[in-house]
């Protein structure tokens, strides 16, 4: 978790914005819910500057130069040069600058080579990162539009949905089941519910955890939707004020730990050997000669070009990888990227084509029924959250079947957004005559809220036999590689005004829809090549056992033993570690369970890469040695990743292995030399 020291007066900064009622807030701060005019937004951007926190802004050239000049090994050499000046110039009868000049040339060469390589590669990386710059949705000129987060200004109206990264400090104006993850700022593991108005005494505000109607920059939306007003940007945000105290919970990679070990070991050798050499020689030679010889020993055991070798290899690797549609956000990640021995990945989009097609729409007896497609279409079309491939597939198939008229006939009344605990989503729609609550989601979760079934217009109580039959049909479809989602509805909601999760009960089961997402043709060969290169592939997915097993068989992943999330829930880390030795496939996992598995693998001495692009992948991306995402990922996944692929293909990882072979040999030679000591 993040470790943040509270050193800003939260009550003073946010007390007024959070304590005012919505109408008073809008009037006091002259905020228009219809959004800013483009001209006003440009004016404010010129006046207040970009929405960038100082600590997060790109480094200037002199930052790279001073960092290169005063690297640990260069500092040692500069120290030695000072000592040589004292012995070879100040104390000597015949001053000699030869040794000092040699060290000066080495320091200059090391500094300039490292500076130019790292500066240019990072500038190239910054340009590439603009291709996948995180955006946010705002209302400008009365219309919804996406803009880069850095262009958000005070007074902007921001629209949030599941997966959104909060772009600035925001006051909530309207919300629907809005839950925000604040762990990056507060360390809270649970999502926090945000509301429009809350009643409290401003003097009781001690920390940002007390502010229920303020969303903070750097946090992310777990579920729900909201319309918010920007109240603070850039360094004025809470994130900006405490950025220097926030510690990223990203663990040190094996590469970083290895470099630190080498540095500390060499420095220890110097501190021990130099005095010993001096003492052994001072009795036979003059003090100056003995000291000079000891200094020469220090020079000999100092790997003068180690910084150059490392930075040059890594930065060149970053440039080469950029030509292969791979953006390296953190230079150190290159080495870990090539050195991973375990790759954890989701199934969808990595092993499969990620081109989901709606194949079947069936009633409770497995017979095709257009009513199922209609209700699924209404749910997918009118939901306002983060639309996934499933929603897009439903809408596309329905429109092909001439259901576009329903977009005009029905209107959205309310919505109960998706979350990972319920694993379902509901919309409330009306055709003018009646209101319907339509829900779609995982089969078991839908069965748990249904008490009735609808078969060809006849409604009857659901029985154990009916449930077992539905599970049987669903399992058969899963075994054929189809992902199955159930659909249900409820009509007796005319008197309900404010809908919530509590209304998802006593529903009528209609049937289910089946999606086909075939495995990639390249996946099998890519996994075989990864295995040949010593990289074990582990599948971590929230999908069910049968679908995952079908896909994994086709791509060549051992599927004899598959572990479900519920099996690891009560196990200790040691127990999870034992399971990881026997199984390569884990299904029906929650985001926390995924992150735990990655953490256990890392703690077991493995170099772990994690590839994911969803909201639920963010914790795992952070826990891994190398977080790998794609440019089409949700905001929080891209921000959590170390490397971003412009093409979601396992073969790109094979390129990383080849980069390791090109870059790692020099480091290995250094390791061998050090180990001889």
Q: Does residue 439 sit in helix, strand or coil?
A: strand
Q: Is 54 exposed, middle or buried (0-12, 13-18, 19+ CB in 10 A)?
A: exposed
Q: What is the pLDDT of residue 566?
A: 84
Q: Which residues of 494-517 are buried (b: 16+ CB within 10 A; e: fewer)?
A: eeeeebeeebbeebbbbbbbbbbb
DSSP codes of every residue in 158-177: EEE-TTPBP-SEEEEEEEEE
Q: How confident is the model at residue 613 (pLDDT cuts 50, 70, 90)?
A: confident
pLDDT at 205 over 80: no
Q: Work out the end-to-end distance of the chain between its first and last CA atoms, rounded to an integer number of angstroms.
A: 38
Q: Average the pLDDT over 327-342 and give the result.
A: 75
Q: Is 194 exposed, middle or buried (0-12, 13-18, 19+ CB in 10 A)?
A: buried
* pLDDT tens column, 208-237: 777 888 898 878 887 788 899 999 998 888
In the residue annotation, 346 being an active-site residue is answered as yes
Hunting for tokens 């809350």 — which residue is that?
A: 198
Q: What is the pLDDT of residue 4?
A: 42
* pLDDT tens column, 570-594: 889 899 999 998 889 998 887 778 8
Q: What is the pLDDT of residue 246?
A: 46
Average pLDDT of the chain to the nearest whole number: 78
Q: State phi, psi for 153 to the nearest 5 degrees.
A: -130, 165
Distance between CA atoms of 122 and 175, rounded to whole angstroms? 40
Q: How do the domains of the chain map onto residue ranges?
A: 10-51+133-245, 61-130+251-311, 319-353+520-674, 357-516
Q: Does residue 415 sit in helix, strand or coil?
A: strand
pLDDT at 617 over 80: no
* pLDDT tens column, 245-296: 544 555 666 566 666 666 677 677 777 877 888 888 877 777 767 777 776 7
* pLDDT tens column, 499-548: 888 888 899 999 989 988 778 777 888 888 888 888 899 999 877 788 88
Superfamily of domain 357-516: Calcium-transporting ATPase, cytoplasmic domain N (3.40.1110.10)
Q: How confident is the model at residue 315 (pLDDT cuts 50, 70, 90)?
A: low
State which fold the 10-51+133-245 domain adopts. Answer: 2.70.150
- Please pick, among 88, 177, 346, 617, the residue that the annotation labels catalytic: 346
pLDDT at 378 over 90: yes
Most confident of 6-15, 173-182, 649-658: 173-182
Q: How confident is the model at residue 349 (pLDDT cuts 50, 70, 90)?
A: low
Distance between CA atoms of 384 and 404, rounded to whole angstroms? 18
Q: Which residues pair with 358 in a beta bridge?
A: 515
Q: Does residue 137 sit in helix, strand or coil?
A: strand
Distance between CA atoms of 619 and 639, rounded to whole angstroms? 11
Superfamily of domain 319-353+520-674: HAD superfamily/HAD-like (3.40.50.1000)
State the pTM of this model. Answer: 0.60
């Amino acid at each position: 978790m993040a470790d943040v020291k509270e050193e800003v007066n939260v009550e003073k900064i946010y007390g007024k914005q959070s304590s005012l009622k919505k109408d008073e807030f809008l009037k006091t701060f002259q905020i228009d819910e219809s959004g800013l005019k483009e001209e006003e937004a440009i004016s404010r951007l010129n006046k207040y500057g970009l929405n960038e926190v100082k600590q997060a802004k790109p480094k200037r050239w002199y930052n790279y130069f001073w960092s290169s000049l005063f690297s640990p090994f260069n500092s040692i050499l500069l120290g030695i040069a000072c000592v040589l000046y004292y012995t070879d110039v100040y104390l000597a009868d015949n001053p000699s600058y030869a040794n000092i000049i040699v060290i000066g040339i080495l320091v200059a060469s090391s500094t300039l080579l490292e500076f130019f390589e790292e500066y240019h590669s990072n500038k190239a990386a910054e340009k590439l990162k603009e291709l996948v710059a995180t955006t946010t949705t705002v209302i400008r000129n009365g219309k919804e539009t996406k803009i880069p987060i850095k262009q958000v200004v005070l007074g902007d109206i921001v629209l949030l949905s599941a997966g959104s990264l909060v772009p600035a400090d925001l006051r909530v104006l309207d919300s629907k089941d809005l839950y925000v993850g604040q762990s990056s700022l507060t360390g809270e593991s649970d999502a926090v519910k945000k509301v429009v108005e809350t009643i409290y005494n401003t003097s009781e505000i001690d920390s940002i955890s007390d502010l229920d109607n303020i969303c903070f920059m750097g946090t992310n939306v777990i579920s729900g939707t909201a319309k918010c007003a920007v109240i603070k940007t850039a360094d004025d945000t809470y994130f900006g004020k405490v950025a220097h105290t926030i510690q990223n919970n990203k663990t040190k990679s094996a590469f970083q730990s290895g470099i630190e070990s080498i540095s500390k070991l060499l420095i220890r050798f110097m501190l021990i050997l130099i005095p010993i050499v001096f003492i052994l020689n001072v009795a036979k030679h003059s003090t100056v000669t003995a000291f000079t010889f000891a200094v020469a020993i220090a020079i000999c055991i100092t790997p003068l070009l180690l910084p150059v070798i490392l930075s040059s290899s890594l930065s060149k690797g970053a440039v080469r990888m950029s030509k292969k549609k791979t953006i390296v956000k953190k230079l150190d990640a290159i080495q870990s990227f090539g050195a991973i021995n375990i790759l954890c990945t989701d199934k969808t989009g990595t092993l499969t084509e990620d081109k989901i097609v709606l194949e079947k729409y069936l009633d409770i007896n497995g017979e095709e029924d257009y009513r199922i497609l209609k209700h699924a279409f209404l749910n997918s079309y009118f939901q306002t959250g983060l639309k996934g491939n499933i929603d897009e597939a439903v809408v596309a198939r329905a429109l092909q079947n001439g259901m576009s008229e329903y977009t005009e006939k029905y209107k959205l009344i309310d919505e109960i957004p998706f979350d990972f605990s319920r694993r379902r989503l509901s919309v409330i729609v009306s055709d003018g005559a009646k209101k319907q609550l339509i829900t779609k989601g995982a089969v078991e979760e839908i069965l748990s809220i249904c008490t009735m079934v609808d078969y060809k217009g006849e409604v009857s109580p659901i029985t154990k036999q009916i449930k077992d039959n539905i599970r049987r049909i669903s399992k058969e479809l899963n075994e054929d590689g189809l992902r199955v989602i159930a659909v249900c509805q409820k009509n007796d909601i005319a008197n309900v005004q404010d809908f919530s999760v509590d209304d998802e009960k006593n529903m009528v089961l209609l049937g289910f829809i089946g999606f086909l997402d075939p495995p990639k043709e390249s996946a099998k060969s890519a996994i075989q090549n990864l295995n040949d290169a010593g990289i074990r592939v582990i599948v971590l997915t929230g999908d069910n056992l049968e679908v995952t097993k079908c896909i994994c068989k086709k791509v060549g992943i051992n599927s004899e033993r598959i572990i479900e999330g519920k099996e690891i829930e009560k196990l200790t880390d040691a127990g999870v570690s034992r399971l990881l030795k026997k199984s390569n496939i884990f299904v029906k996992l929650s985001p926390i369970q995924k992150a735990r598995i990655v953490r256990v693998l890392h703690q077991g001495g493995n170099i772990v890469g994690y590839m994911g692009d969803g909201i639920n992948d963010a914790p795992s991306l952070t826990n891994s040695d190398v977080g790998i995402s794609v440019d089409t990922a949700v905001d929080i996944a891209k921000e959590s990743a170390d490397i971003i692929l412009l093409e979601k293909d396992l073969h790109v990882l094979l390129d990383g292995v080849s980069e390791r072979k090109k870059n790692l040999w020099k480091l290995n030679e250094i390791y061998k030399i050090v180990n001889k000591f």
